[in-house]
A and B are shown apart, each in its own frame.
Chain A
């Protein structure tokens, strides 16, 4: 059990900067998820902790020990790989016992720990099998088991669910969360799937092009994205963005997106006052777009006329693909909605949950 700290960590491969001045302090017992699109440096960041890559600049601390020059085997970490990396010539038992044997743990103790881990993961019957005789889900469990028996200070996960089918992925997600509660150890988890990040993490670090974009709890990340990238990455379907201008309207500010004008609610006037007359990016999540017939009460409603392009009924909701002029956007509305493809309809924006971003540079959220 230990905290992990990145201090101004940079990793370069030749001229390519994979990780750029990364600063994160991960608390003991935290479940931190590194998330971002492929090539964003999240896996490299994880491999830096493991010691599988050398740090170009900066320091990494596990607990209060600088580990820059400590080989992987002495860092007291365990890692679950995307491909599971089970030793093909060893039985499941030997796979899990390998690390303990190398550490000269007494035989009886090895047996006890492997047995215990196997029980936690429900793989007691598989201990004599070879990896090739296992299904994908079972291999994944063995890989986790191999990490558990070591009782390391930090668990590292590198996209461990990406080789599982959708149903198993959801199930295993919950099991890893349970495991975290049970083991009370620091988990650092890399994924490109924002749903995995949202469901499991205590905090999420969103990365892009080697740079940390935002580090926050899942709910804060969803409610207060720091910039357009994070706003678009977290949440599914993604947030809608419109290029707009903040103008003075009757008694307040109005977001003028060209094809439609929507008023800024009174509670937000103060926050956006400084941007009057300026170009902004207006963001609104699909779940904040409603069918007029099923609009919840007590929201700052703004009506926008849109064409219905496509309709995706999901049972519990309907995903609408809408357009206003040439601009497409999506809505998640009540399943009883009478919207029909090809027709025009009024949709309601819940302006209480609107977002505005700067148009230049990092497209930061306006706070």
Chain B
């Protein structure tokens, strides 16, 4: 019996091994000091264009050269031959999985980029260097869009943008022409958009099923419920980002209309339909939908590649139902410097960031069409690029006038994971908006309370 118990123990132990991650105790003994000012750590030393001391700079590139143009890395290497580069590239998912253990073990790259929300979390935990002293020392803020400070919390800036990815309203010109509906304008409200979508929704073959939808309403956060919750003046979190709002009257109106596009007006396909077809942008590319909230990156990298003949353009996001406010959700990827990197490596990393933010390099970023640069000179340059969508001002001016983050805070991943399943149920018609939003508010507030130790 004893022998059998032992063998059972071994087998179950092996099972735990299969699912358990191997943690390292390395790095536990020192609380990272991300709030330590750069001035304390030698930032005031004069930074020269050519580094006099040879350093090896480890740069983390999630998504490899598909996301960060190789020309930029090679250009930096040519301009700064004394800084040796050690590139740590991996597919996005693999990189983000391993980076937490690398940080814990003190073996993370000197500099890398990730979603802005993740970087805010690193800042809070002391893993990201505060870049405010570097920015104040070396950058002229007037040369940059306000998104330069997307990773600012209080007086600290935990990173600078790798690039922005805002949304605009994309429309299929051919479908508008066929239906005899005027193209959208920058002055459209959500009401105008819904009314136009009703006219554009058609059963073209008369089989009783809709073939062309006026609008493709996303179920996700960036191009889905977040802009819609603001469409009637509502909010997800309050200004402190420590309290959930969600269920006020304005938010309820916005989310009710969002769900109505699928369930009542039937001007948008169901979530399951566009999920099966590869996402909202694929459905838009296939000509099954006349309008969609389109993230900038999906235009050039997906629509222009997969649907080169698609005749589309963009206008700014619609104004709220009352015609007053407009919000443009903007998702940033953010470069950050590891707070535990050696001082000379931090300086080399900042040299790289200055190079990355220079007009010449930002124009390369603009040319990629996958992200919006942060340098104003490059933004002007981008507006004249001749790939679709031609009206890039829908993004550049849109984000400049009305850009907002997705209420990102240090526990963004956690609260949005609590909210998203209920939003899915609301959109699928399984939960009514009122009780769904109450449920969301309660779950999100619990997450916020736990993380802000209320």
Bound together: no
A residues bordering B, Cβ < 8 Å?
A: none
B residues bordering A, Cβ < 8 Å?
A: none
